[in-house]
């Protein structure tokens, strides 16, 4: 069988790839990577930076490309067959990673270079790579004895499989739920576009009426606008019961096992908790630093959150006769209150935010800041008809900067949420600057038969957020693959994404792309003022919610034992006692579908969203002081943050950009929390 993945390629040849190609190709790439690594540790020359550290970083490039390709497809277009292949691929990659990290001969060479680092004339990037390489091996078991190494191999294999099981169960539970409404009067309050989409969804499934799923672009408008409280309750309970129901998709045992195995792994490697292990390689450094940070946010936000919740509760009582505000009332009455306070209706904004216009605005703003341009590239193959590809070039030199793929709409084979990933990382080797290929994946409101995709303002900021990550990948200018683009400390990685959201609130930026999809009219100044005024609406409640999610994360990962935890829901209630505003609700649980920490890479790291908000608020303050399109500030941000990747410690990079360490005050000021 001819396998296109076994032939070297630059752009991915999606049209010729079949599911059955992935497993044999990845097995072949593992064998190739093993040979490349063997060449390093059998080298009879004295170990030095180039023949050991750099050689190791460049090794396994084909395997890296195939594995990220496969798992991008797994996240974006996973049919049943892909899910089964993932269960085979994941342990193979885990086993390979352990074989490398636990290779004594290889580590002996790395250690030899590391021990003479002070006598080597290394660049900052080379020094960082050497430090990272040595620490990576030490932190992944290189110093363990043989019995301990075998135990670590088994732990990592089991963890990799369980994370896939967790994700598959959440996806299956999500896909299993449908709410069919056959009485049109029950749709009162819901925008016409969402009603039309629900009608089309029902028709596509051969059903009469209006069909609603738990896909976020369907779920959010439903719970925000549907006047029927019982129906809102059904949807909210269904969404918050994912993984917590008495069916084959229940994740309680899975997540408990994952969390306990992580403690076991941390202990084996010499750490008290999994958070101690993770945070050693983060800006925050220690669990106590994170806890102090979260406590400070808790202290700052609680008075405001309590006041905001009391206001919302009173409003709901006056407006709807609600005696007790429940979680299925929150989004609905918050929207009504915001409309009342700011005379702002989110649906009033949608016509100004067609997906096409917003995407062009992203391209325009990024182009203005960083001297790049985006051109659609229909000749580039894609993995699904809804995906588009763009070629990014420099406006100064006309040279290739990157390729970017966009994938915007929900599918049953696609996980929820929004993310940026890469099909190829940037690096330099043998005088060639290999340019990156990145992807931006979201789950936005679909177009209907009569209207284009019209985004909520929240979806607008999501697109800017993920594109900020993409810029981090696209504009990378490092030598070594493991230091390129978003390969940075986890609590630093959200800075490029979160800062880019800020342009969504500025008239100078909005006037470029916020145009009525029918008339072309630029969004009125009055609406922009309302957007800015409403930006800090319920900021205290939002901050408290994020602290609550970070507390759940730390509750699973910053403890020495979970042996006394018998009930996931009860334990979660303890963790969120200080951050919960709504009454306790039976049958719902956050942990059981918390994919960020049990499937993604945010274990012991969910706090980083708020940590990075401190950075982004402080950084954008610098832009505002000089102009949001100031070329000098943008050049400094590009050079020291976006292009630099992980080539130096993030605090050093931030200070090189800003001239000082970040202050929390701009964040508090932005949310009117000071």
Active site residues: 466
For residue 213, the 8-state DSSP code is: -
CA gap 552, 537 in Å, rounded: 24
Token pair in block for residue 84:
């089964």
CA gap 648, 126 in Å, rounded: 9
Number of Cβ within 10 Å of residue 234's Cβ equals: 18
Token pair in block for residue 528:
């922009």
CA gap 290, 303 in Å, rounded: 21
Which positions ≥6 away from 262 have C-beta within 8 Å?
A: 159, 274, 557, 603
CA gap 589, 587 in Å, rounded: 7
For residue 352, the 8-state DSSP code is: G
Residue 525 exposed, middle or buried by CB count within 10 Å (0-12, 13-18, 19+):
exposed
In the beta sheet, which residues pair with residue 421? 439
For residue 241, the 8-state DSSP code is: T
How many helices (H) and strands (E) the chain has is answered by 27, 9
Token pair in block for residue 339:
């409309």
Residue 408, CB-side half-sphere exposure with 13 Å CA sphere:
24
| Beta-strand relationship, 372-376 and 400-407 | unpaired
For residue 210, the 8-state DSSP code is: E
CA gap 558, 553 in Å, rounded: 8
| Beta-strand relationship, 432-434 and 427-429 | antiparallel
Q: What angle do CA 619, 554, 168 make, to 5 degrees?
A: 95
CA gap 144, 270 in Å, rounded: 10
Which positions ≥6 away from 209 have C-beta within 8 Å?
A: 180, 181, 182, 199, 202
| Beta-strand relationship, 427-429 and 437-441 | unpaired
B/e letters for 280-298, b = 16+ CB within 10 Å, e = fewer, are eebbbeebeebbebbeebb
Given a contact cutoff of 8 angstroms between Cβ atoms, the answer to whether 565 and 225 are in contact is: no
Token pair in block for residue 570:
């009860």
CA gap 309, 313 in Å, rounded: 6
- Sign of the CA dihedral 609, 611, 615, 618? positive
Residue in this structure with the two tokens 């930026």, named with its chain if needed = 509
Number of Cβ within 10 Å of residue 311's Cβ equals: 13
| Closest CA relative to residue 91, chosen from 156, 139, 169 | 156
């Amino acid at each position: 069988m001819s396998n296109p993945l076994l032939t070297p390629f630059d752009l991915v040849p999606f049209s010729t790839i079949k599911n059955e190609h992935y497993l044999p190709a990845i097995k072949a790439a593992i064998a190739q990577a093993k040979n490349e690594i063997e060449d390093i540790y059998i080298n009879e020359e004295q170990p030095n930076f180039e023949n050991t550290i750099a050689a190791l970083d460049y090794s396994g490039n084909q395997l890296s490309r195939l594995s990220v390709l496969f798992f991008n497809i797994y996240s974006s277009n996973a049919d049943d067959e892909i899910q089964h292949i993932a269960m085979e691929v994941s342990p193979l990659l885990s086993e390979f990673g352990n074989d490398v990290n636990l290779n004594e001969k290889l580590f002996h060479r790395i250690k030899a270079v590391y021990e003479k680092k002070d006598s080597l004339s290394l660049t900052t990037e080379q020094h960082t790579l050497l430090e990272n390489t040595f620490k990576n091996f030490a932190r992944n078991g290189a110093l363990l004895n043989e019995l301990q190494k075998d135990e670590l191999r088994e732990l990592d294999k089991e963890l990799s499989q369980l994370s896939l099981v967790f994700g598959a169960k959440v996806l299956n539970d999500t896909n299993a739920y449908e709410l069919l409404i056959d009485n049109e009067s029950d749709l009162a309050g819901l925008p016409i576009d969402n009603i039309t989409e629900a009608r089309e969804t029902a028709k596509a499934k051969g059903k009469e009426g209006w069909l609603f799923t738990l896909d976020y672009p369907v779920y959010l408008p439903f719970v925000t606008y549907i006047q029927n409280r019982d129906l809102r309750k059904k949807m909210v309970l269904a969404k918050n019961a994912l993984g917590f129901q008495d069916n084959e998709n229940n994740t309680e045992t899975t997540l408990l096992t994952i969390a306990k195995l992580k403690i076991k792994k941390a202990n084996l490697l010499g750490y008290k908790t999994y958070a101690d292990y993770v945070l050693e390689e983060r800006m925050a450094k220690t669990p106590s630093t994170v806890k102090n940070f979260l406590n400070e946010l808790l202290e700052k936000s609680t008075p405001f959150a309590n006041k905001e919740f009391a206001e919302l509760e009173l409003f709901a009582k006056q407006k709807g006769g609600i005696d007790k505000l429940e979680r299925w009332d929150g989004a609905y009455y918050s929207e009504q209150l915001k409309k009342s306070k700011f005379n702002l209706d989110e649906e009033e904004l949608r016509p100004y935010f067609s997906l096409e216009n917003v995407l062009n605005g992203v391209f325009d703003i990024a182009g203005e800041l960083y001297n790049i341009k985006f051109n659609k590239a229909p000749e580039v193959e894609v993995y699904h008809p809804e995906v588009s590809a763009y070629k990014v070039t420099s406006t100064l030199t006309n040279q290739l900067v990157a390729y970017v793929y966009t994938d915007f709409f929900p599918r049953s084979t696609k996980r929820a949420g929004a993310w940026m990933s890469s099909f190829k990382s940037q690096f330099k080797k043998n005088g060639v600057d290999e340019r990156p290929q990145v992807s931006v994946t979201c789950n936005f409101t679909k177009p209907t038969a009569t209207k284009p995709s019209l985004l909520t303002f929240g979806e607008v900021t999501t697109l800017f957020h993920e594109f900020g990550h993409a810029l981090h990948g696209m504009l990378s200018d490092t030598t070594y693959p493991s230091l390129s683009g978003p390969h940075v400390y986890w609590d630093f990685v959200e800075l490029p994404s979160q800062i880019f959201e800020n342009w969504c609130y500025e008239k100078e930026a909005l006037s470029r792309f916020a145009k009525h999809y029918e008339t072309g009219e630029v969004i009125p100044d009055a609406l922009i003022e309302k957007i800015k005024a409403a930006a800090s609406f319920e900021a205290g409640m939002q901050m408290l919610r994020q602290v609550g999610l970070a507390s759940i994360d730390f509750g699973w990962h910053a403890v020495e034992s979970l042996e006394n935890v018998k009930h996931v829901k009860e334990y979660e209630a303890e963790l969120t006692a200080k951050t919960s505003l709504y009454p306790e609700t039976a049958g719902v649980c956050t942990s059981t579908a918390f994919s960020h920490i049990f499937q993604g890479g945010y274990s012991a790291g969910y706090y980083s969203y708020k940590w990075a908000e401190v950075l982004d608020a402080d950084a954008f303050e610098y832009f505002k002081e000089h102009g949001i399109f100031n070329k000098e500030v943008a050049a400094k941000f590009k050079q020291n943050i976006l292009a630099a990747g992980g080539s130096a410690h993030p605090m050093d990079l931030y200070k090189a950009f800003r001239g000082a360490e970040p202050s929390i005050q701009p964040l508090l000021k932005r949310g009117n929390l000071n």
